[in-house]
């Protein structure tokens, strides 16, 4: 049976102060906050989801914001840079916009024929803007003009402790190596968005988990049956794969590939509109049914997201 993921479903990272996180990713980058909920494994912590208008798979960037948590260090054994697609001709707009928000921007470079601008968010998370085509329609009501707005993910960079073995797992997922330089290997799948994975071949210090680092990368699968087939295939490839976990807006299985990066395979549905009208996404704290009885206690422990109201004004 030939199996191939359609690309990245979402990327989850660790942040610091939640209000600063909301302000940066909505006000500066122009993403929509499509869901505010909690970490189902640590209900004292928000789980914030950003994306296009409805949180289409391939556009979803999520954060666990831990105010006061120690800073991490992106490095070997982790996913490092998160790359977004922007339209051709938008580089100058974005450099000016980022610098206007006091974001330090690196000089633009060319990578595999694409123009890349690298920078970091307020927590130190490495980010990139990459020119290219995407079928994703940007959030029309955001602060960035649609002619320049982010069109979901381009891909992610992995700093593997064993690039060759990581590449073999990517091939199990249906990726193929399409290009290389002395410092990185480019893998891609046939999905129409968020289809690129770069694997660094350079040495460097081990990554340290914490604020400003990626927690995991999730790949798309259509439904429960296909996810079950992935679990069997990955187990046959020697991976320890968790049982399915209900994440309310998708269902997930997890495994850590031999190069150190935590991977997830997430179903495309049911999506973020299952408990909110599309016009109201991200405006209220949403809890799964099994946590509703604890709502008062959960809300008492969470800091207010004042930046949400400010971003919507």
Maximum CA extent, the chain: 55
Burial (0-12, 13-18, 19+ Cβ within 10 Å), 65: buried
Domain residue spans in the chain?
A: 5-298
Rg (CA), the chain: 18
Q: How far apart are CA 42 and CA 215, in angstroms?
A: 15
- The residue ranges of the chain whose pLDDT is under 50 are 307-313
Q: Is the dihedral of CA 228, 230, 233, 237 positive or negative?
A: negative
Q: How high is the pLDDT of residue 17?
A: 95
Q: How high is the pLDDT of residue 309?
A: 41
pLDDT in tens, 17-58: 999 999 999 999 999 999 999 999 999 999 999 999 999 999
- As beta bridge partners, residue 198 has 157, 186
Given a contact cutoff of 8 angstroms between Cβ atoms, the answer to whether 7 and 191 are in contact is yes
Q: How high is the pLDDT of residue 2?
A: 74
Region of residue 152 (left: phi > 0; alpha: psi -120 to 50; beta: else): left
The architecture that CATH gives domain 5-298 is: Roll (3.10)
Strand order in the sheet with 153-159: 109-111, 114-120, 126-131, 78-86, 153-159, 196-200, 184-188, 176-180
Given a contact cutoff of 8 angstroms between Cβ atoms, the answer to whether 127 and 84 are in contact is yes
């Amino acid at each position: 049976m030939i199996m191939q993921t359609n690309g990245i479903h979402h990327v989850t990272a660790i942040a610091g102060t939640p209000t600063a996180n909301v302000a940066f990713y909505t006000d500066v980058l122009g993403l929509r906050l499509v869901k505010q909920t909690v970490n189902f494994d640590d209900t004292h912590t928000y789980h914030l989801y950003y994306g296009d208008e409805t949180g289409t798979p391939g556009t979803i960037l999520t954060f666990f914001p831990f105010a006061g948590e120690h800073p991490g260090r992106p490095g070997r054994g982790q996913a490092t840079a998160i790359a977004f697609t922007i339209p051709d001709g938008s580089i100058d707009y974005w450099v000016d916009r980022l610098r206007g928000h006091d974001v330090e921007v690196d000089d633009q470079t060319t990578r595999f024929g694409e123009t890349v601008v690298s920078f970091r968010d307020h927590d130190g998370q490495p980010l990139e803007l990459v020119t290219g085509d995407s079928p994703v329609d940007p959030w029309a009501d955001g602060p960035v003009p649609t002619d320049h707005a982010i069109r979901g993910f381009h891909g992610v960079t992995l700093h593997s402790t064993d690039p060759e073995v990581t590449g073999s797992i990517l091939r199990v997922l249906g990726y193929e190596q399409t290009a290389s330089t002395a410092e990185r290997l480019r893998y891609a799948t046939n999905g129409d968005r968020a289809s690129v994975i770069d694997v660094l071949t350079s040495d460097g210090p081990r990554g340290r988990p914490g604020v400003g680092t990626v927690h995991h990368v999730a790949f798309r699968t259509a439904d429960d049956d296909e996810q079950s087939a992935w679990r069997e295939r990955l187990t046959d490839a020697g991976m320890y794969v968790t049982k399915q976990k209900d994440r309310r807006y998708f269902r997930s299985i997890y495994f850590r590939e031999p190069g150190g990066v935590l991977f997830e395979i997430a179903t495309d549905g049911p999506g973020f509109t299952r408990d909110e009208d599309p016009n109201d996404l991200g405006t209220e704290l949403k809890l799964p049914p099994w946590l509703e009885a604890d709502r008062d206690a959960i809300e008492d422990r969470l800091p207010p997201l004042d930046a949400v109201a400010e971003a919507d004004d």
